[in-house]
Structure 1
Amino acid sequence: MTQLKANSATFSGRTIAIIAGEASGDILGAGLIRALRKRYPKARFVGIGGDEMIAEGFHSLVPMERLSVMGLVEVLGRIRELFSIRARLLDYLFTTPPDVVIGIDSPDFTLAIERRCREAGIPSAHYVSPSVWAWRQKRIFKIAKSVDLMLTLFPFEARFYEEHHVPVSFVGHPLADRIALEPDTLAARESLGLEVDKPVLAVLPGSRGGEVERLGTLFIEASRWLQARRPDLQLVIPCVNRDRERQVRDLVESLEVSLPVTLVRGRSRDVMAASDVVLLASGTATLEAMLLKKPMVVGYRLSDFSYKILSRLVKVPWVALPNLLAQEQLVPELLQDDATPEKLGAAVLERLENEQERDRLHQAFLELHQVLRQGADERAAAAVSELLESRS
């Protein structure tokens, strides 16, 4: 058995198990497979993944869509199936042990599998850190028992793991590799049919119906506040699908917005690239706006009950990724009671008209982009390879 394993390593005949539970993980997994295949041309990739990973020669034991559930009610409705998938996957991994198991994001599902595999002597890694640095920090002890290696997208995450003596590798963010250091604003405006010589405000109230209902009205009222002061402003709102487009159109009509409003299905990155300023909810969109070098204003509201609970749990001073990366407030965050149409509008107006501030932000965002532009696929593959070779 030992000789067989040695020969397998010599001829790159590794078996690498990867578990991805959603579309973003599928994209990361595909990039990781491409980079690992350069090191292990004869490797076999197996586990759970989507179309992107399958296109790279990955064998998915279960359709990834069966793991893509969101919300407590939906999870509870599928809990038996999720437990069944986990049991079948573990049975497969224990029966035909891979050389390494890599969970990508989806920590509620993947970390438990990684822990069981590690206890069985199979090296495990996790790609994309849970937000353990921000809240429920005691989860770090569970993670430490589950993984031999954590691969993080952001440097501040790596520092947190180092402080807790968990093996970690900062690999950078794939978006930073894919987005150009200098965006082409003119080309983006032309592709969307916008007037190239008039200012553009991109409005992103979120992708889910509840978010759009809660923040859409607020953001559109802020836009209406702006129209009295900047009647030349073009308003562009990307909508993730037909339902959100219908929802946003109803809001715009009900609030009688007289600004030119362009609704775009999908293409949120193009919309941000075309803009002068972005008004958006917190989340990954703030990272994209930063990589596109766009001044932004972050606004968010929760129910009072949810906000009181989260404000006690969260251990970081900011919610927007540019601020977390810079460890200073580059981006205004107007949350809860501070998120009013007037305050949001005034913050947007300041960033529209203050050229010196726009130049300062551009330079700061460029420097952060370069920090994250590390060749994430290759760095992740190198770290996994080092883990593999250390166990050969």
Structure 2
Amino acid sequence: MTLQRVYLVAGELSGDILGAGLMRALKARHPGVEFQGIGGPRMIAEGMQSRFPLETLSVMGLVEVIKHLPELVGVRRTLRREALAWQPDIMVGIDAPDFTLGLEKQLRREGIKTAHYVSPSVWAWRQGRVKGIAQSVDGMLTLLPFEADFYREHQVPVAFVGHPLADELPLENDRLAARQALKLEPDAPVLAMLPGSRGNEVRFLGHTFLAAAELLCQRHATLSVVIPAATAQRHAEIQALLVDYPALASRVHLLDGQAREAMVASDAVLLASGTAALEAMLCHRAMLVAYKMAPATHWLAKRLVKTRWVSLPNLIAQQSLVPELIQEAATPDAIADQLDALLVDHDARTALEARFAAMHEGLQRDASRRAAEAVTAIAAGQPLEQHHGE
């Protein structure tokens, strides 16, 4: 089957990266294929006609979504109407499950094939959601092997495609070259700090991260702190926060993007939980994951989440490789103490970098190509068994 029209809806920057890779692979397989829906700058560069800005769907937390619900309902109604008028061969929701799965369910009822790229964390909490997912999608595309196992157990068609970031990032990287590119001292310690790509994350984590950095700079006289801002808006927000930390003025390098370069250049990484933790793992860097959210959201999450870990490196390894500090535990002092331990223990860092390199190799599967094959199979009504990740 040759695909002519694919409707894609991505919800945040990580989804934009995945969507752009999928689009490239689909174009290679189906020359002339057209794309509509919601995408970010990378997907737009690949030919997406995006109906709304990517940030429309980037709402963090259970409580925060409620505030934006009327707008989100209106956006979904518009997308449903336009997708039905356009009649794509398949609709693919990329992450943002609270939004995209509902749209997938509506379109599937109208006879449009649907797929979902990036599994929601049903294995961690609210496992009953898998019944709704089964009604919403003709196939699930997972990035990680333990996710695909869960769907097979629940008889949901699934393809483990691997993670595109694992394909994109090299198995060997050059810390010194990255430091030279960022104009950092070659022999001084470097901390990369990533407080999140969403506005709410910077609001909840920004001051805590900067206060921790200030403490670390007191302990390490030559430490440089590199902060890659995910967007121009995050850059402005972090710049505003830095006014309260004059002691960091000579130590902080605030970048526009360049997260990967910052991680590779670093000795250790401080970051919010999420895709950034996987990226740090794929850059083979020691890290500390810290996260804060609205108190009401955290109260709910504590009662719903059943997994032992929140960071992807720990979940993939199924052991505590990366320290995690969540909510009240994520204090500047606790963060500084954990990072200090990472910075001074060279042997532990070297061992962890080797472990991450091995995990990286296991996730390299040419994911975008596999995802395009799975999307084509779903659109054609073919089974996904051959895409299970032999």
Q: Secondary structure at the match of 1:334?
A: strand
- Higher RCO (C-alpha 8 Å, min separation 6): 2
CA 1:117–1:337: 2 relative to 1, 3 Å: closer
CA 1:32–1:341: 2 relative to 1, 3 Å: closer
Following TM superposition, by how much is the alpha carbon of 1:74 offset from its aligned partner in structure 2, in angstroms? 6.1
Which is worse superposed, 204-213 or 270-279? 204-213
Q: Secondary structure at the match of 1:231?
A: coil
CA–CA distance in 1 between the matches of 2:92 and 2:295? 38
CA 1:276–1:123: 2 relative to 1, 3 Å: same
CA 1:122–1:301: 2 relative to 1, 3 Å: closer
1:62 counterpart = 2:62: no
Alignment-derived partner of residue 145 in structure 1: 135
1:290-332 Cα deviation digits (max 9, x unpaired): 1111101122234544323211111111111110111100001
TM-score (norm 2): 0.86
Q: 5 Å matches for 1:351-370?
A: 351-370=342-361
Following TM superposition, by how much is the alpha carbon of 1:61 offset from its aligned partner in structure 2, in angstroms? 7.3
Q: 5 Å matches for 1:117-136?
A: 117-136=107-126
Alignment-derived partner of residue 148 in structure 2: 158
Q: 5 Å matches for 1:23-172?
A: 23-58=13-48, 60=49, 62-65=51-54, 67-68=56-57, 70=59, 71-72=64-65, 75-76=68-69, 78-79=71-72, 81-93=74-86, 96=87, 98-172=88-162
CA 1:164–1:33: 2 relative to 1, 3 Å: same
* Contact 2:8–2:91, Cα closer than 8 Å, also in 1: yes
Alignment-derived partner of residue 259 in structure 2: 268
CA–CA distance in 1 between the matches of 2:382 and 2:288? 47
Q: Choose which of 276, 281, 289 in structure 2 pairs with 1:290.
A: 281
Amino acid at match of 2:263: M
Alignment-derived partner of residue 229 in structure 2: 239
1:99-133 Cα deviation digits (max 9, x unpaired): 33222223233222322333344322111112222
Amino acid at match of 1:243: A
Aligned residues: 376
CA–CA distance in 2 between the matches of 1:236 and 1:52? 24
CA–CA distance in 2 between the matches of 1:258 and 1:61? 39
1:249 counterpart = 2:242: yes
What CA RMSD, in Å, does the superposition of the two structures yield over aligned residues?
A: 2.7
Q: Secondary structure at the match of 2:221?
A: coil
Which is worse superposed, 32-41 or 175-184? 32-41
CA–CA distance in 1 between the matches of 2:151 and 2:318? 17
Q: Choose which of 366, 369, 374 in structure 2 pairs with 1:383.
A: 374
Amino acid at match of 2:352: L
Q: Secondary structure at the match of 1:367?
A: helix
Query: Where do 5+ consecutive residues of structure 2 fail to align?
Result: 384-390
CA–CA distance in 2 between the matches of 1:301 and 1:42? 44
Q: Secondary structure at the match of 1:144?
A: helix
* Contact 1:227–1:258, Cα closer than 8 Å, also in 2: no
1:30-85 Cα deviation digits (max 9, x unpaired): 32232223333354444444554454445x37345595453436623524632441
Alignment-derived partner of residue 3 in structure 1: none
1:315-364 Cα deviation digits (max 9, x unpaired): 11111111011110000112233323332222112211222211221121
Instruction: Answer with 1 or 2: which has the greater Rg.
Output: 1
Following TM superposition, by how much is the alpha carbon of 1:222 offset from its aligned partner in structure 2, in angstroms? 2.5
* Contact 2:58–2:198, Cα closer than 8 Å, also in 1: no
CA–CA distance in 2 between the matches of 1:387 and 1:334? 40
Alignment-derived partner of residue 187 in structure 1: 177
1:220-248 Cα deviation digits (max 9, x unpaired): 33233333432222222233434223223
State the percentage of identical aligned residues. 47
CA–CA distance in 1 between the matches of 2:296 and 2:376? 46
Following TM superposition, by how much is the alpha carbon of 1:259 offset from its aligned partner in structure 2, in angstroms? 6.9
1:373 counterpart = 2:368: no
Q: Choose which of 322, 327, 332 in structure 1 pairs with 2:313.
A: 322
* Contact 2:287–2:322, Cα closer than 8 Å, also in 1: yes
Query: Where do 5+ consecutive residues of structure 1 fail to align?
Result: 1-8
Q: Choose which of 272, 279, 294 in structure 1 pairs with 2:270.
A: 279
CA–CA distance in 2 between the matches of 1:76 and 1:141? 23
